[in-house]
A and B are shown apart, each in its own frame.
Chain A
Amino acid sequence: MTTQLEPRPKTVAPDLPTSAKPSQPRPGGKGIRRGSKQAARETRAGYGFLLPWLIGFFGLTVGPMAFSLYLAFTRYNLFTDPQWIGFDNFTRMFTQDPQFLQSVQVTLIYVLVGTPIKLAAALGVAMLLNAVTRGSGFFRSAFYAPSLIGASVSVAIVWRAMFNTDGPVDTGLSSVGIDIGGWVGNVDLVLPMMILLAVWQFGAPMVIFLAGLKQVPRELYEAAEMDGAGKFRQFRSVTMPMLSSVIFFNLLLETINAFQVFASAYIISNGSGGPAGQTNFYTLYLYGRAFRDGQMGYASAMAWVLLLVVAVIAFILFKTSKSWVHYAGDNR
């Protein structure tokens, strides 16, 4: 027997967590009132299937989170017992640790500048690809490739070599009269270089945008055109609202991912976060504190600050999304 299945309805926005969250799973069955005996059997089966995940969830996620929260209020170096010090780690972070503050600043610039540029590039190229009829599959794959390998050590090595003094970028720019030297050792250019590395990986959000663009009914553009809307007006009044849920999804994911950049910064700076702390991203600094300096308590406190920041950003995005994310069939 061949196995066949229904085509998956192609959803634009990957189903967002929120929409999938409540009241799952749907009642199975056909309205048969389930006896309590059967319910008990279902529950047993459910937890049986879920067992590996449950062990992982409690043993490797919830448990560690609780322990990490405890460590955040201690001094701990892995070899002696944790020593309770209250909020000292947190006050030290914000009042006596200029390196911490700098890493926050560098990370925020990276996230707040890099993510919008990356998404704008992704949307722009997606629109360009959506307009062409032939070869879009090839271009789509070619543009996506960097997203797949961008976080690898190999690419970080390549990136460093390309932007080094007398590397391809330096020589290329010099040949058109821009003599700025290598980017890697330059305090002002190394962060833009890291942002370029992020922007280079615009392919993943682009593919999602492209899937979204394909769902926009052509009639909407035709109607807008008949009403005399120009290209820009069409973009603002048709494309943007129709894509808003996809934009929201990409914005949320890319922002959270950007906060967690690690390998490329580590390789490019040889783990130092240099020059002058300009690649000392939050996660790199956290790693150094924990595993180089042995300050596990302090690093745990840093991790919780990161978690709070990410949670607040996600919360703000979800809250404000009500006012700008338009869902089809939503009559507001």
Chain B
Amino acid sequence: MSTSSSAISSPSQLEAPLVAPPPREARSGRRKLTPGRVAQYVLLALLTAIVLYPMIWLFISTFKPSSEFGQNPGLLPENGTIDNYFKVLEGIGGIPLWKFFANSLLLAVAAVVGTLASSSLAAYAFARIRFRGAGIFFAAMIGTLLLPFHVIIIPQYVLFQRLDLVDTFWPLIIPKFLATEAFFVFLIVQFIRNIPRDMDEAARIDGAGHLRTFFSVILPLIKPALITSAIFTFIWTWNDFLGPLLYLNSPENYPLPIALRLYNDQTSVSDYGATVAVSFLALLPVLLFFLVFQRFLVDGVATQGLKG
């Protein structure tokens, strides 16, 4: 099968609609602005405002002094200040803010590395190797997609407690290296299945084993799926609350979501400004990721049904 004519090299092109849109002039050019069309856009603009309002509110509120919370119901601060940020940078309970960021970053990066390595290996096995038991294990893997994680958190906790790993990062990192996030295995399997078999058959005929085929043929071809998996893993891990809540007890090990709770518990009455500022800072990397990679993310959801 020829791969040249319809070949694409970047995932953003993957989302080219099956039915080509009419040429630009025809669809945007002189189309009349009917009242119905105007109403559609007004409605959409209104919806956008409502949907984005909480985030806008959060951002602007970080410039409100704490005393204005509950006093000034307006969106804009009366006496704008950036003191909240300075206060927040000092940290809480003797731990500087950067420490929480570093913990979050370490966990997220480890999760990305582990997920990509283990999921792509498993996906290759499911998509390309014919072996006894593959069908059953694939079905089981799909089954774990629907498994409520609360069924396994208690025994997992007991396990890691017996291994004396509570209050370390290991219980949060080890599972990622064991491909426990079935979504990504599934996503990569789907992606590999759409790669023409000729490509790896050719490599096999040239004498390459599965390892060679995987590393030199398949891996370069599934880059888009790997990027999508990496971004989602990063964001999910960054936002994860239950895992760190279960396993990390010492404040110096806290990632941001748990540290946020500290602010929220201890300062919500007196220092709303700090809470809001740190909430915004915690969200900032995710929002930046989103702005840069929105195409990847949204198309990943559209084609794979990944949850956000």
Q: State the A residues within 8 Å of B (CB).
A: 2-11, 13-15, 17, 20-25, 27-30, 42-43, 45-57, 59-61, 63-65, 67-68, 71, 78, 125, 128-129, 131-135, 139-155, 157-159, 161-162, 164-168, 171, 200-201, 203-204, 207-208, 210-211, 214-215, 218, 249, 252-253, 256-257, 259-260, 262-263, 266-267, 270, 283, 286-287, 290-291, 296, 299-300, 302-304, 306-307, 310, 314
A225 to B307, CA, bound (A): 35
Q: Decide yes or no: A148 and B129 within 8 Å by CB, A25-B134, A56-B175, A64-B155 being known contacts.
A: no
**B interface secondary structure, majority:** helix
Given contacts A158-B54, A260-B148, A306-B151, whether A5 and B264 have CB atoms under 8 Å apart is: no
B102 interface contact, C-beta 8 A: no
Contact yes or no, A159 B54, CB < 8 A: yes
Interface stretch of the complex, out of B79-87, B90-98, B178-186:
B178-186
| Residues of chain B lying within 8 A (CB to CB) of residue A13 | 305
CA distance A268 to B41 in the complex (A): 34
Flag B238-280 by CB within 8 Å of A: 1 or 0 each: 0101100110000000001110110011000000100110011
Q: Which residues of A contact B121 (CB under 8 A)?
A: 49-53
- A134 nearest CB neighbor, chain B only: B28
Residues B9 and A4 in contact, CB atoms below 8 Å apart: yes
Instruction: Report whether over half of chain A's contact residues are helix, strand or loop; otherwise say mixed.
Output: helix
With A4-B8, A7-B8, A253-B307 as given contacts, are A43 and B282 in contact (CB-CB < 8 Å)? no
Jot down 18 A-B pairs with beta carbons below 8 A, ordered by A.
A3-B9, A7-B13, A8-B303, A10-B14, A10-B18, A17-B146, A47-B125, A52-B117, A64-B155, A67-B158, A133-B28, A154-B282, A208-B305, A257-B307, A263-B241, A270-B264, A299-B154, A304-B151
Closest 4 CB pairs of A and B: A56-B178, A14-B305, A46-B131, A147-B308
Structural contact, B125 and A7, CB atoms closer than 8 A:
no
Given contacts A46-B129, A61-B144, A147-B301, 15 further A-B contacts (CB under 8 A): A10-B17, A25-B129, A45-B131, A51-B121, A56-B118, A64-B159, A65-B155, A141-B290, A149-B283, A153-B258, A154-B58, A168-B75, A201-B308, A267-B261, A306-B148
In Å, the complex CA distance between A197 and B129 comes to 44
Q: A6-B7, A56-B179, A270-B265 are in contact. Are A263 and B305 (CB under 8 A)?
A: no
- For B16, the chain A residues whose CB sits under 8 A away are 7
Given contacts A5-B221, A60-B180, contact A152 B282 (CB under 8 A): yes
Chain A residues with CB under 8 Å of B145's CB are 17
Is A57 within 8 A of B141, CB to CB? yes
The CB with the most chain B CB atoms within 10 A, among A6, A133, A154, A161, is that of A154
Assess A153 versus B180: contact at CB under 8 Å? Given A53-B185, A132-B44, A145-B55: no
Flag whether B122 is at the interface (Cβ < 8 A): yes
- Contact of B135 with A23 in the complex, beta carbons under 8 Å: yes
Which residue of the partner chain, among B53, B220, B286, contacts A149 with CB atoms under 8 Å? B286
CB closest residue in chain A, given B258: A153
Q: Does B287 lie at the interface of the complex (its beta carbon under 8 Å from any beta carbon of A)?
A: yes
CB neighbours of B154 from chain A (8 A):
64, 68, 71, 290, 296, 299-300, 303
How many whole Å from B275's CB to the nearest CB in chain A? 6
| A124: min CB distance to chain B, Å | 10
Shortest Cβ distance from residue B162 to the other chain A in the assembled complex, whole angstroms: 10
Are the CB atoms of B148 and A307 closer together than 8 Å?
yes
B190 CB to closest chain A CB (Å) equals 6
Judge whether B31 is part of the interface by a CB distance below 8 angstroms.
yes
Which residues in B have their C-beta under 8 angstroms from that of A51?
121
The 0/1 profile, CB within 8 Å of A marked 1, for residues 142-182 of chain B is 11111111111111111101000000000000010111100
B63 within 8 A of A: no
Q: Which of B28, B47, B175 contacts A143 (CB 8 A)?
A: B47
A3 x B221 contact (CB < 8 A): yes
Asked, given contacts A132-B41, A133-B27, A134-B28, whether A63 binds B13 with beta carbons under 8 Å apart, the answer is no
- Give every chain B residue within 8 A of A302 (Cβ-Cβ): 150
A310 surroundings in chain B (CB, below 8 A): 146, 148
Please judge, given known A-B contacts A134-B28, A145-B52, A153-B241, whether A263 and B298 are in contact too, CB under 8 Å: no
Chain A proximity mask over B204-230: 1 for CB below 8 Å, otherwise 0: 000001100010000011010000000
Contact B201 A30 (CB under 8 A): yes
**Set of chain B residues within 8 Å of A164, measured between Cβ atoms:** 70
Whole-angstrom CA separation of A201 from B54 in the bound complex: 12
Chain A hits for B40, CB < 8 A = 128, 131-132
Q: How far is the CA of A105 from the CA of B130 in the complex (A)?
A: 47
